[in-house]
């Protein structure tokens, strides 16, 4: 599976869909150069065909803004990319009927062990590089060796520093069933390049 995240224009959404992405990501987080208002996100969401899943990325939102965002955009999946606790995700799960992903910044083996707390609270764990200025989309990679040969107890995906040039190697090294890219297919922060989106999808699919 392939997720192209941080899409902000109709052209980028169409490029991701046409290139064969299984998921497209929309970011609602004001500090990010990929931030969309709820109105913008809803408009882009409407362009996505049913076969492609829409992921709305939120960071440390309070309950009411979370509910408002989901009602406005109507994503298939909500990706929590902050310091949200398993208890918080479990509470959200009681009130919404969408998939729940949790991004995990991986520094070391301990990060992966602590991620086990989210089993049962999230549907998928997205392993990313540790947060820096922004919680994601920084172009930094995690140590793939930490994931190689690991027995994963729940669905997971790989993000952080992926590009058209390294995604095939990353998938082979980790066995990732899902790869997620944002800055790796950009010409400038927040500006997606159609040719890079196409190249990433082709590389991820081994074409």
Number of domains in the chain: 1
Helix (H) or strand (E) holding 45: helix 38-45
Q: Which domain holds residue 24?
A: 2-204
Query: pTM of the full predicted structure?
Result: 0.92
Question: pLDDT (tens digit, 9 = 90+) per residue, 3-36?
Answer: 999 999 999 999 999 999 999 999 999 999 999 9
Environment class of 63 (CB within 10 Å of its CB; exposed 0-12, middle 13-18, buried 19+): exposed
CB 129 within 8 A of CB 160: yes
- Share above pLDDT 90 across residues of the chain, in percent, rounded to a whole number: 78
Question: pLDDT (tens digit, 9 = 90+) per residue, 133-188?
Answer: 555 455 667 889 889 888 888 999 999 999 999 999 999 999 999 999 999 999 99
Q: What is the mean pLDDT of the chain?
A: 92
CATH code at position 112? 3.20.20.70
């Amino acid at each position: 599976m392939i997720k192209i995240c941080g899409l902000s224009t109709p052209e980028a959404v169409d490029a991701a869909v046409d290139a064969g992405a299984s998921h497209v990501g929309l970011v609602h987080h004001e500090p990010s150069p990929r931030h969309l208002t709820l109105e913008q996100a809803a408009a882009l969401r409407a362009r996505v065909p049913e076969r492609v899943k829409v992921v709305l990325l939120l960071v440390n939102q309070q309950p009411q803004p979370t509910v408002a965002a989901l009602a406005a955009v109507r994503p298939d999946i909500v990706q929590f990319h902050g310091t949200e606790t398993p208890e918080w995700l479990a509470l959200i799960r009681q009130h919404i009927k969408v998939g729940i992903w949790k991004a995990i910044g991986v520094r070391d083996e301990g990060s992966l062990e602590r991620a086990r707390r989210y089993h049962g609270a999230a549907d998928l764990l997205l392993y990313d590089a540790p947060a820096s200025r922004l919680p994601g989309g920084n172009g930094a990679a995690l140590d793939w060796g930490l994931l190689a040969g690991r027995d994963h107890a729940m669905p997971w995906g790989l993000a952080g520093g992926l590009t058209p040039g390294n995604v095939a190697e990353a998938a082979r090294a980790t066995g990732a069933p899902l790869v997620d890219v944002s800055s790796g297919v950009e010409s400038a922060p927040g500006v997606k390049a159609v040719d890079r989106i196409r190249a990433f999808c082709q590389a991820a699919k081994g074409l």
